[in-house]
Structure 1
Amino acid sequence: MSTTGEIPTHTSATSPSNQPTKRDRRPRYHVQQVRESLTKRVVKCLCGTLLTLLLVVGILGFILWLSLRPHRPRFHSTNFLFPALAQDNGFDNAQITFNVTIRNPNQNMGVYYYSMEGEVYYREQRIGATPLSLPSSFPYYQESKSTIWIPGQLSVPTTLVVNDLRWTELMEDRATGTVWFRLELTSRIRFKISMWESKPHRMHATCHVAVGQDGLILPVSKGKRYTLYFS
């Protein structure tokens, strides 16, 4: 019992007025949602921009690579003559002459040729070799989108080696109507664009040429494109 006569009352530790209501929490929740949504949009925008830049840089790099990538020179056989084949006793004065064209297909890139040699093979045995001359002294620079003409000649006894056995084999093939030779050109080349030059490459151009009984190149081989590889 209270001595003062007052009726005791029960008080709570926290007043209901101090507790957040649903109305108080709702605006805070919306603010938080807006912030998270805005952050996601900014991140998505940055990622999209970055991916777009990477795509543009990749496309530009690919286009630049295509424009600067060197294309190999194109060799074509225009003529190949072995007149001695038409004679049974043409061994002593055997001579081979050939002509080749070289096309530089590059748009803005030139090619330096530092040397060039031609070799003739019969039944995969070399029967002759000779240095080749270009339109001017070495190193010769071929402009872009240009074509040059290269002559070659091998003769007995200087550059063409045909012994009795080889001549007999030639006559046997002549009897069939077609004699096959392989002409190979080798050169050391370098590509150049503006002030940039590539490292030297050892180039090999090879072509199988068919000759008839008269020693003239057959139509199947005239204008034939050479196979090109580097070593």
Structure 2
Amino acid sequence: MVTRKCDKTRLSIYCWFICVVTVLCLAGVVAWLSLTPKNPYFRISDAHFPPLDSKNQSTNRNVSVSVLNNSVIFDLEIFNPNKRMGIYYGVISLELYSGGRVVGTNSTLGFYQRYKNTRVLQIMIRVSREFWQGINGGNVDFMVRVETSVKFRIIKWKTKLRQIAYEEQFNNVKINLNGTVSGGNYAELQNASKVTIRN
């Protein structure tokens, strides 16, 4: 009788121990999933090619930018999809490619972005006159590449630095007389976010 009672006690202790370990494992998995950073989403939400040989004043969203006749303005939309995780961005570099080569570059200072937040940066790129002459009055293919480094803020801690590159290809895009873009696959690609990461 005593042996049987000891076996039942031992079995109940083992069951209790297994239940505790299972609950702790599940809690650890849930915590790990909730603390795994998600990469920011990038999108070119607007592009403006001011007419050649002219000077304009752009006032998009109350932001005044003096535009030279060889400039292109891109609105880069950045979204932080994380819950309770902020993102620190380093310098954000933007390159414009056409015909397989870089035709213009510019960069902007980094910033801190709160979770579930969207930020739009208006970036102006000076491009070569040859590029303008090549697109004047016709369709054009071009690619935008964005590079930056990020750190995720989890509560009070920061993760190690990650290098992020984003590319968006635009094909057969029509440059209208007022400098706006249309046609081609521009509208479809606005929702694309091809991000590569180097730790």
Smaller-chain TM-score range? Answer: 0.7 to 0.9
Question: 1:97 corresponds to which letter in structure 2?
Answer: I
The sequence identity of aligned pairs, in percent, is 21
Q: Which has the higher helix share?
A: 1
Q: Is the 8 A contact 1:80 1:209 kept in 2?
A: no
For residue 163 of structure 1, report the CA deviation from its aligned partner: 3.9
Q: Is the 8 A contact 2:50 2:69 kept in 1?
A: no
List structure 1 segments (4+ residues) > 6 angstroms apart after TM superposition.
none
Secondary structure, aligned partner of 1:106: coil
Q: Give unmatched runs, 5+ long, in structure 2.
A: 53-67
Q: Is the 8 A contact 2:80 2:115 kept in 1?
A: yes
Residue by residue, what CA displacement relative to the aligned partner does 1:78-120 show, whole Å, maximum 9, x if unpaired? 11223458xxxxxx94332110111112221111112111101
Q: Is the 8 A contact 1:82 1:95 kept in 2?
A: yes
- Using a 3 Å threshold, how does the CA distance of structure 1 residues 117 and 45 change in structure 2: closer, same or farther? same
For residue 162 of structure 1, report the CA deviation from its aligned partner: 5.3
TM-score by length of 2: 0.76
Matching residue within 81, 86, 89 for 1:110? 86
Question: 1:64 corresponds to which letter in structure 2?
Answer: A
Please name the residue that 2:180 is paired with.
Answer: 216
Please name the residue that 2:64 is paired with.
Answer: none
- Using a 3 Å threshold, how does the CA distance of structure 1 residues 187 and 50 change in structure 2: closer, same or farther? same
Q: Counterparts of 1:224 and 1:127 in 2: how far apart (Å)?
A: 24
TM-score by length of 1: 0.66
Secondary structure, aligned partner of 1:50: helix
For residue 56 of structure 1, report the CA deviation from its aligned partner: 0.3
For residue 76 of structure 1, report the CA deviation from its aligned partner: 1.6
Matching residue within 118, 124, 138 for 1:153? 124
Task: Provide the alpha-carbon RMSD of the alignment.
Answer: 2.7
Q: Give unmatched runs, 5+ long, in structure 1.
A: 1-30, 86-91
Secondary structure, aligned partner of 2:18: helix
Residue correspondences, number: 177
Equivalences for residues 164-175 of structure 1 within 5 A: 167-168=133-134, 170=135, 174=138
